[in-house]
Amino acid sequence: MEKSRRRFLKVAGIAAIGLGAAPAINFAASDSHGSGAAAKVKNETALHAERWGMVIDIKKIDDNLARKISLACHLHHNVPDFTHEVNTQLYPKTRPVNHKQEIKWIWKEEFHYAFPDKEDEFLNEKFHHLPFMVLCNHCKNAPCVQACPTQATFSREDGIVMMDYHRCIGCRFCMAACPYGSRSFNFRDPRPFIDETDPDFPTRSKGVVEKCNFCAERLAKGEQPHCVEASEGAIVVGDLEDPESDVRKLLKEHYTIRRKQSLGTEPSVYYIV
């Protein structure tokens, strides 16, 4: 091989870069805060599931209980109630409310609205009066997740379809995509319409879509969702993928239906009728 001065300088230059880079990389990778490295971890008591699901026993729910369930959920998640009289001293410029701007996470629905594809001319009369509790179905193939342009709505690994309110730009594509009407939009600042603010959960702001989050904040602490606690045993949540779980046992024992199954969204909420 020819040994020219030019070639020697080239090799020396590359070697120098290598020697210089090692300490720089070490410096960048080192932790400037002292001994250990910081870590973000889950609560030890957190509940886990492959895919969270819910079974609602409609026969156990009457109008009273239905109201109690909605109230428990809405109260603890600071869901605004537009029938609430606004404190005019605190919020002097609040306009009257359009009822179409209603916000809800879990509510009572009639059978023929909740299950339009299961309607029957000679349907058993009792179905028309049963209070079907409807909420976000946390679908396996959630159309809202596909529609969201900012990934503010996303599917968690455990099957919960979550809203990241920080990223929501209020385009409402998800509302158009959701076949269950489970999403609400904050056309206005919700705070004047919250009677008692629960400090454990943030309120939302104007221009943000919101919906049921399966009480992800409670599951993370090892607690059951608010609706389950309020339901006196009518609502059960658990792991759909675990054959030994409570929800799977209920599904084995009872005939259940899901909402708009033909759309292929694979809802995770089952109804015992």
If the CB atoms of residues 189 and 266 are measured against other proteins, the closer one turns out to be 189
Distance separating alpha carbons of residues 259 and 146, to the nearest angstrom: 19
Structural element, H or E, at residue 253: helix 246-253
Residue 154 binding other proteins, by CB under 8 A: yes
Q: Does 19 bind other proteins (CB under 8 A)?
A: no
For other proteins, which is the closer residue by CB, 71 or 162?
Answer: 162
Question: Interface mask (CB under 8 A) for other proteins, residues 21-60, using x and -?
Answer: ----------xxxxxxxxxxxxx--x--------------
Q: What's the number of CA atoms in the CB half-sphere (13 Å) around residue 34?
A: 1
- Separation CA 121–CA 82 (nearest Å): 36
Among 220, 232, 246, 261, contact with other proteins (rule: CB under 8 A): 220
- Residues in the chain, overall count: 273
What is the C-alpha to C-alpha distance for residues 236 and 54, in angstroms, rounded to an integer? 6
Question: Which one of the spans 4-12, 50-58, 106-114, 151-159 is the region binding other proteins (CB under 8 A)?
Answer: 151-159
Determine if 93 is a binding residue for other proteins (CB under 8 A).
no
Give me the amino acid identity at 216: A
Nearer to other proteins, 156 or 248 (CB): 156
> Rounded distance, CA 90 to CA 189, Å?
13
Q: Which of 202, 269, 203, 207 is nearest to 235 (CA)?
A: 269
CB of 54 to other proteins, least distance (A): 18
Q: Is 202 in the site for other proteins (CB under 8 A)?
A: yes
Shortest CA distance to 76 belongs to which of 190, 233, 202? 202
Asked if 201 touches other proteins (CB under 8 A), the answer is: yes
SS3 (DSSP) at 28: helix
Of the pair 66, 240, the CB lying nearest other proteins is at 240
Minimum separation from the CB atom of position 268 to other proteins (A): 17
When asked if residue 162 is in the footprint of other proteins (CB under 8 A), the reply is yes
Token pair listed for 216: 């992800």
Q: List contacts with other proteins (CB under 8 A).
A: 31-43, 46, 154, 156, 158, 162, 164-166, 189, 197, 199-205, 216, 220
